[in-house]
Amino acid sequence: MGIKVLFLYPNLFGTNMIPPAIALFSAMLKERGHEVEVFDTTYYKVDYGINSDKAMEDTLAVIPSNLASRGIKMKETLWQDDLQTQIKRFKPDLFAISATEDMWELGEQLLENIKEYKFKNNIPLIAGGVFPTFAPELVIKNEVVDLVCVGEGENALMDLCSKIEKDDRDFSNITNCWVKTIGPEYLKNRNVIKKNPISKPVDINKNPIIDLSLFETNRLFRPMGGVIYKMFPVETIRGCPYTCTFCNSPDQMRLYDEETDGGFFRKKRLDLISKELKHFKNDLGVEYNYFWADTFLAMNKNEFEEFIEMYSEIKIPFWFQTRPETITDYNIKKLVGVGLDRISFGIEHGNEEFRKKILDRRWSNDKIIEKLKIPNRYGVSYTLNNITGFPTETKKLAFDTIELNRQIDADNSNISTFVPFHGTPLRKMCEDLGLIKPETIVKSTAANPDEANLGQLNMPQYPPHEIREIRKCFNLYVKFPKNRWKEIERAEKDDQEGNKIYDDLRKEFVEKYMPKPNADPHGGIEDFKAL
C-alpha cells in the first residue's frame, strides 16, 4: 500500500546543490511502493544573511554567470503559502527534514510552519543530515522533531516507513535514531529520549540510482566556469581517508569506528557508476557531471584504469575535487582524454607549520606548487580553495595563504571564512579555547559586513573585521603586482574611499584576470580527443 513521505529541504539560492541523499532516499522509498515529494526552499526569496554564489562573484572568487540564460528565476510566491498548499494536497504520513548546520535556523522555520498540521494529524517527523548527526541533542529539542537520525539514514528511514505503513507507532527501536518516547518521566521531563545504537555502514552498492525526478527541472542546473549546465551529482566513494580537522569526515569515521566495526570509507562499484552515468546521459540529458566525493582520486592504480575505461564511453564534461598530492601527469592526461574539464583543489592555508599543526595537512608548499603545474600542462582549469579565520590564526598568517596562491597559476582562487561546525575536530578545539559554547549553532559568514557576525570566531588577534578585509581583497592580493598592495590595503576598508578604490580595482581585475566563460568545454561533448 505504501505511505506518503514529504521531505523538507531548507536551502538558499546559490548555496547547496541537489541533495544526493534525499534523491537516493526517494528512489529507495519508491521501490518499496511509497509516494515521495520534496519541499525545497532554494528558489524562494529568503532573507537569511549568508554567503551565496553572488557573494563569491562579488569577491571575484567565481566567474559571473546568468541563470536566467536557461530560463531559471526566483519564485514570486511565499514559501510559507506554498508549503501549506503542498501539505494539504499531498497529505503526508511522514515528514523528513535534512539540514546542514547553517540551514538549521531556516529549517526550524519550516518546522514551525508545519507544526499545526503535524500535531493535529499526529504525523511523525524525522530529522537527518550532517547537523542532526553531530548535534542530535540540539535538534531533538525542537518540539516538532520526533526522531533524529545519527549517521546514515538508509536503514532508519526504511524501517520507520515500514512501521508507519503497518500502523505501528512504536518507534523506540529504530536503528541509528534518537527517539522521543512517552515514558514514566513524561510529566516531569516532557520527553524521554531513547538513544539507539548505530548499525553497520550500509552497502552502497545495493543502493538504486538516485531519483532526480523528485526535483523541479530548474534545480538540475548549476553554474560552472561562468556557464549554466544541466549538472548531476555522482557518488563514487562515501567517507574520506584523510583527517582534515575542519571537515566532518574524521568525526564520521570515528563515530562508526566506536559504534560498529568501522568500515565507513567505501567505494562504489564501477559497473554501478557506469549504469548511473549512462542513465543520466541517455535518459535525462545531462550536460556536465560532478563527482560527489571529498577526494575523488582516492583510488589505486587498478581502480583508476577501470574508471578511465568506463568513462571513455560517457565523455560528458566533468568536475571533481581532490588534493594536490593525488594528481600525476599520467592521471591528469588520462582524465583529460575522457572529459575532465575542471578540478577543485583544497589548499586551505599557506603556512606549512600552521597547516600541519592546526589542519592536519602535511604537504610542503614546494610540493603543492610543483604538483599544481600539472593541470596547466594539460590545459585543465582549476580552482584553489582556501580558508581563513581558523582558531589561533592571525591576519599576518593569512598573507602566507595569499603568497602561496600567488605562486600557483590557477584559473581562480577563493577563500571562505572558517566556521566551527559541529562534527569537526576544530569545533572541539574552539570550544576548548573558549571561543564558542557547545550549544551555539553557527551559520556561514554574513555576506553583508553590516550584519551580525554569524559564524566567524571573535578572536582578539584576528577579529571579524580583519577576516572580512582579507576575504574582500584576497583575489586582488593574489593577482595584482605587489606595487599595488598599498592601494589594495586601502580598498580593504569598508568606508566611502575604500569601497570606491575597491570598485575600481574590481573592474580592472575582471578585465585583466577574470577567465572568460567557456560555453563549450574541450570543444564540445562530441569532440574529446585522447592525448
One DSSP character per residue, 257-285 reads HHHSS----EE--HHHHHHHHHHHHHHH-
Answer yes or no: is 250 within a domain: yes
pLDDT band at residue 529 under the 50/70/90 scheme: very low
Contact 439, 372 (CB under 8 A): no
Of the three residues 141, 162, 195, the one that is the final residue of a domain is 195
Answer yes or no: is 222 within a domain: no
- Measure the CA–CA gap between 506 and 374, rounded to whole angstroms: 29
Of the three residues 144, 165, 195, the one that is the final residue of a domain is 195
Query: Are residues 179 and 262 located together in one domain of the fold?
Result: no
- Measure the CA–CA gap between 67 and 337, rounded to whole angstroms: 29
Of the three residues 132, 165, 195, the one that is the final residue of a domain is 195
Res 443: pLDDT:
83
pLDDT band at residue 530 under the 50/70/90 scheme: very low
pLDDT band at residue 524 under the 50/70/90 scheme: very low
pLDDT band at residue 445 under the 50/70/90 scheme: low
Query: Are residues 20 and 114 located together in one domain of the fold?
Result: yes
Whether 385 shows a pLDDT value over 70: the answer reads: yes
Whether 289 shows a pLDDT value over 60: the answer reads: yes
Q: Give me the amino acid identity at 298.
A: A
Res 187: pLDDT:
39
Query: Are residues 428 and 490 located together in one domain of the fold?
Result: no
Query: Are residues 102 and 18 located together in one domain of the fold?
Result: yes
Res 280: pLDDT:
95
Average pLDDT of the chain is 89
Res 70: pLDDT:
86
For residues 355-374, give the mean pLDDT. 96
Q: Nearest CA to 238 among 229, 224, 248?
A: 248
Query: Are residues 113 and 246 located together in one domain of the fold?
Result: no
CATH number, domain of 56, equals 3.40.50.280
Which tens digits make up the pLDDT trace of 197-247? 999 999 999 999 999 999 999 899 988 888 899 999 999 999 888 889 999
Query: Are residues 439 and 500 located together in one domain of the fold?
Result: no
For residues 155-168, give the mean pLDDT. 96
For a pLDDT cut of 70, what percent of the chain falls above it? 91
pLDDT band at residue 250 under the 50/70/90 scheme: confident
- Measure the CA–CA gap between 72 and 70, rounded to whole angstroms: 6
Query: Are residues 470 and 370 located together in one domain of the fold?
Result: yes
Provide the b/e sequence for 134-160 (b: ≥16 CB within 10 Å): bbbebbbebebbbbbbbbbbbbbbbbb
Which tens digits make up the pLDDT trace of 485-498? 999 999 999 999 99
Q: What is the 3-state secondary structure (H, E, C) of 430-476?
A: HHHCCCCCCCCCCCCCCCCCCCCCCCCCCECCECHHHHHHHHHHHHH
Answer yes or no: is 217 within a domain: no
Answer yes or no: is 218 within a domain: no
DSSP 299: -
Res 367: pLDDT:
97
Res 518: pLDDT:
67
Query: Are residues 417 and 492 located together in one domain of the fold?
Result: no
For residues 464-470, give the mean pLDDT. 92
Res 189: pLDDT:
53
Whether 14 shows a pLDDT value over 80: the answer reads: no
Which tens digits make up the pLDDT trace of 44-68? 988 765 545 556 666 777 778 888 8
Which range of residues forms the domain containing residue 496? Answer: 486-515
- Measure the CA–CA gap between 342 and 40, rounded to whole angstroms: 28
Res 523: pLDDT:
41
Res 449: pLDDT:
44
For residues 26-37, give the mean pLDDT. 98
Res 186: pLDDT:
37
Strands 237-238 and 266-267, bridge-based pairing: antiparallel
Res 454: pLDDT:
52
Query: Are residues 404 and 291 located together in one domain of the fold?
Result: yes
Which run of H or E residues covers position 292?
Answer: strand 288-292
The x, y and z cell numbers of residue 255, run together, are 563515530
What are the Cα distances from residue 67, in Å, to 54, 62, 152, 265, 333? Answer: 11, 14, 33, 36, 32
Domain count, the chain: 3
Whether the model clears a pTM of 0.85, i.e. scores above it, the answer is yes
Query: Are residues 450 and 498 located together in one domain of the fold?
Result: no
Res 450: pLDDT:
44
CATH number, domain of 386, equals 3.80.30.20
> What is the number of helices (H) and of strands (E) in the chain?
20, 16
Answer yes or no: is 419 within a domain: yes
Q: For residue 190, with 0-12 CB atoms within 10 Å meaning exposed, 13-18 middle and 19 or more buried, which class applies?
A: exposed
Query: Are residues 503 and 459 located together in one domain of the fold?
Result: no
Q: Nearest CA to 3 among 168, 119, 214, 206?
A: 168
Res 519: pLDDT:
53
Which tens digits make up the pLDDT trace of 330-342? 999 999 999 999 9
pLDDT band at residue 185 under the 50/70/90 scheme: very low
For residues 2-26, give the mean pLDDT. 92
Query: Are residues 281 and 151 located together in one domain of the fold?
Result: no
